[in-house]
């Protein structure tokens, strides 16, 4: 699954989390103001300020440098309200029931594991607050039975959200995989490979990490289709993909670029090393006999990534090298 910022709002259903966050903050303010408004005006004013911070954080969180604000508010306001509520409650029921909404914020605003971690951290804070109030201040925020029921409800909500988010991520990964795989050869398709190449370009530009691209075009493949039919041609494509993949490193990525063309991304290899890899694959193809067809050779173009080079230009250079190799066929042409 492609990486995204863990602290940005995710689309569709997580818009609900934003609305729920703002609504809960307003209801919490009303609850606290009614409870403490006249006796503890400072606490009520603090609640009002906290309530105003929520929509402000949601608005400012749209800017890249402030993307962390919504989640920070979702964490700090609940925790910030707990200990003052214990101190000022003086034996009355404190407004802590709304903490059940905490996991909704955390799973909605972050990812699976951070959401679980923050939910457990909030639960631990809630328990610590209750014990501190009961044994440290001698104040019973809630009857023990009520608190246990609240805790069980909190755990139930947290686990439901965790299961839902886990299943959502699993479905998302499966969809991404199916959208990035070539149906015929079972390797990545052009879309998936373009994403892989872009990621390695970014690494090369940032850390100067070497990476090379190998383009492979099967020689005279049209004759295979014309003579033996497309079904046999499809078998050849599948066999070539399987054969090449079995001789690559774990870090290398093979994909079908289109038609009878394949592309290999070789992270960590400079041009000369990638050329040796391409030559090895060329010899493997040369000695492999496909059922009914026999030997199908390949022409390879090899280039290494250059710092600051656009994706379009990188692919153009690789295509130029492959085109030059096609003039001779069954050879490898490389360029730094």
| 145: phi then psi, degrees, rounded to nearest 5 | -60, -40
Q: Which residues of 153-175 are buried (b: 16+ CB within 10 A; e: fewer)?
A: ebeebbeebbeebeeeeeeeeee
- The contacts of residue 23 (CB under 8 Å, 6+ apart) are none
Instruction: Tell me the C-alpha distance between 30 and 271, whole Å.
Output: 66
What are the tokens at 102? Answer: 């905490």
**115/108 Cα distance (integer angstroms):** 8
Nearest residue to 334 via CA among 290, 292, 304:
304
Residue among 330, 220, 326 at smallest CA distance from 279: 330
Query: Which residue of the set 260, 261, 316, 336 is catalytic?
Result: 260
Write out the two tokens for 106.
């955390």
Give DSSP secondary structure letters for 262-297: EEEEEET--HHHHHHHHHHHHHHHHH--BTTTB---
Catalytic residue list contains 171: no
Residue 154 DSSP SS3? helix
Q: In sequence order, what DSSP letters do the residues of 206-238 get, joined into one string? A: HH---EEEEEEEETTHHHHHHHH-HHHHHHHHH
Catalytic residues, which ones?
260
């Amino acid at each position: 699954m492609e990486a995204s910022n863990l602290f940005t709002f995710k689309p569709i259903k997580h818009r609900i989390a934003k609305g729920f966050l703002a609504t809960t903050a307003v209801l919490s303010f009303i609850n606290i103001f009614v409870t403490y408004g006249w006796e503890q005006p400072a606490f009520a004013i603090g609640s009002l300020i906290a309530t105003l911070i929520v929509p402000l954080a949601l608005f400012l969180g749209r800017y890249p440098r402030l993307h962390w604000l919504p989640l920070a508010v979702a964490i700090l306001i609940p925790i910030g309200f707990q200990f003052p509520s214990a101190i000022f409650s003086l034996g009355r029921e404190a407004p802590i029931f709304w903490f059940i909404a905490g996991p909704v914020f955390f799973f909605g605003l972050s990812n699976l594991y951070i959401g679980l971690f923050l939910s457990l951290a909030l639960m631990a804070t809630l328990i610590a607050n209750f014990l501190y109030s009961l044994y440290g201040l001698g104040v019973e925020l809630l009857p023990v039975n009520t608190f246990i029921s609240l805790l069980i409800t909190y755990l139930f909500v947290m686990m439901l959200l965790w299961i839902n988010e886990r299943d959502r991520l699993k479905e998302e990964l499966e969809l991404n995989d199916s959208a990035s795989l070539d149906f015929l050869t079972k390797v990545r398709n052009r879309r998936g490979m373009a994403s892989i190449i872009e990621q390695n370009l970014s690494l090369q530009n940032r850390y100067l990490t070497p990476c090379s691209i190998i383009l492979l075009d099967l020689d005279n493949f049209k004759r295979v289709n014309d003579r033996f039919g497309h079904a046999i041609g499809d078998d050849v494509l599948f066999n070539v993909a399987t054969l090449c993949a079995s001789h690559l490193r774990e870090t290398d990525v093979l994909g079908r670029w289109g038609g009878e063309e394949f592309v290999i991304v070789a992270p960590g290899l400079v041009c000369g090393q990638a050329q040796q890899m391409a030559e090895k694959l060329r010899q493997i193809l040369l000695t492999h006999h496909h059922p009914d067809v026999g030997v199908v050779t390949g022409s390879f173009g090899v280039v290494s990534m250059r710092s600051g080079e656009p994706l379009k230009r990188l692919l153009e250079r690789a295509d130029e090298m492959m085109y030059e190799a096609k003039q001779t066929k069954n050879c490898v042409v490389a360029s730094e």
